[in-house]
Amino acid sequence: MDYPTLPVPEPAPAPEPGWAPEPPPPPRPQDPLAVALGNASLLSVGYFLMRRVRLGVITLLITLALVAAQAGTVRETWLEFTLLGWWLLLVWHGWFLARRAEPVVRKGQRLWALATALVVLLVVGFLRFDAAGIEREVTAAKERGDCGQALSALDQVGFGHRVADAPLTVRGEQTADACQRLRRSADKLTAALTGNTEALKAGFDELANVLANLPGHEKMTDTVLNAFLGSLPAKSPCHTVVVTTWLRQRQATKNTLDRAAEVVDKHAPLALAECGDLIMDGKQWAQAKAQYQQLIDQYPGHELTGRAEEGVRKATLAIELDNVRGLLRGSKSAYCASPAQYSAAPPYGKGTNRAIMAGEGEYTGRLPGEWKTEDPTQAVLVVCAGRKEYGAMVRSCLYQNKMLPRVPHSVAFHKIAIPVRAYELRTGKRVVDAKVEVGGSVCPRVLHYRTIFNDGPPPSQVYVTESDKEVHDAFGWFINQ
């Protein structure tokens, strides 16, 4: 078998005598000052002058990253010093690299680099100067407690200010946050003037939050608090009572908010009195009495205490009258089971003691009209009459009937006994507890009666036949004294 033969490479020609590798080109001459000034612009201009494009791009990206961090997420003083250190490093490094090459003087590059650096530095300087002016306006507004002026000044802050003076924007955002919270607090405190205690608590909590977490905004907090306190009293005295009562009960926090308690004694007494009057007009007697009593308890000896005591008296009478009317409504038996007083009623005594008639009305209904009334405000007594019973026997008479005409029957005539309890309405106390007896005529010639069997024997006892005068006499001894 035949195998293919591989070609044998020809040997490389031997180098000619005296040949040597070509040395690398010498570094281009550089102007160190121009490079340093170019890098002083923070735009890596010096590296681009040296035609170190890759290094220029990398350092420029690092610069942009630092600037973005300062303008966005890390707005703190230490990052400003980091950026300053980076600037010094770029200037020194550019100078150092340029010095390693053959130094030359290139006026054109120097002027161009200087102009670039000056533009950047002037822009940064102007922005910092402008930022300082904005900060002075904000500081002055904070000292005056003027959130509106502070926010107006902060509206001037732009991206350049965030780059040139990042800590300013942090302080500005704190002030903006404080003002937003204070506005929310002011809105809630305004809503609290309608008697909304939840809004009142939320408003004070927001103020306390600003004082605790955003120091330096005390004057602005005072402005909101002063506006709220200055809006007292509220339009409704009852709403003022709600607010002042809450402020009185608020726990002290040892800050400027505690002075809110100072307005309580200024507004509460009159508000309690006027609120009591307003509730009285609405016939809510118990609530009105509570308002008056609160004034008496909290401000004894105050010039309005007399007015409150009169209010308590009127409210008490109204409550009593309302209770009595409720007991007398309908059958009126409820009053007899549970007597109640109406303190404004006339006292029981000499003269005609007009009475409200309760219970059985068979005989009380026959009393003179001037002895009776349905109006508790005109009554002295409430008379509770029971069912009639047989009273004392007056006389017995014999009667015959058709069934047994030869056998007379004895019939006893009794007075009409009526159980009576009378209560003095003024005190609710029982002044009469007796059986009044009504007399009348007895032994008529013909006795009319009814039995189960017609013409049966008459009953063994019957009532006398009373007249109106005799009914009047029976009740008159305690009604018309």
Q: What residue has token string 């000896």?
A: 301
Residue 438's nearest CA partner among 418, 409, 413, 412 is 418
Structure tokens at 300: 């004894």
Q: In the chain, which residues have pLDDT < 50?
A: 1-6
Q: What is the pLDDT of residue 5?
A: 47
**Using one digit for the tens of pLDDT, what is the confidence trace for 214-259?**
887 788 888 889 889 999 999 999 999 999 999 999 998 888 899 9
**Using one digit for the tens of pLDDT, what is the confidence trace for 136-178?**
666 666 666 667 666 565 555 555 555 555 565 656 677 777 8
- Amino acid letter, residue 19: W
Q: What is the pLDDT of residue 108?
A: 67
Q: What residue has token string 């923070």?
A: 42
Residue 187's nearest CA partner among 150, 228, 222 is 228
Structure tokens at 429: 């106390």
**Using one digit for the tens of pLDDT, what is the confidence trace for 325-365?**
999 987 777 899 999 999 999 999 999 999 999 888 889 98
Q: What is the pLDDT of residue 146?
A: 65
| Separation in Å, CA 335 to CA 161, 340, 363, 384 | 85, 7, 19, 9
Q: If phi over 0 gives left and psi between -120 and 50 gives alpha, with beta otherwise, what is residue 359?
A: left
CA 249, CA 251: separation in Å to the nearest integer?
Answer: 6
CA 432, CA 477: separation in Å to the nearest integer?
Answer: 11
Q: CB neighbours (10 Å) of residue 238?
A: 17
Q: Which helix (H) or strand (E) holds 385?
A: strand 381-385
Q: Convert 382-403 to b/e letters by CB count within 10 Å (16 or more is b).
A: bbbbeebeebeebeebebebee
Q: What is the pLDDT of residue 429?
A: 95
Q: What is the pLDDT of residue 46?
A: 65
Q: Beta strand 429-438 with 381-385: parallel, antiparallel or unpaired?
A: unpaired
The β-bridge partners of 418 are 436
CB neighbour class for 457 (10 Å; exposed up to 12, middle 13-18, buried from 19)? middle
Q: Which helix (H) or strand (E) holds 230?
A: helix 218-230
With beta carbons less than 8 A apart as the criterion, state whether 142 and 216 touch. Answer: yes
Question: Helix/strand/coil (H, E, C) string of 282-313?
Answer: CCCHHHHHHHHHHHHHHCCCCCCHHHHHHHHH
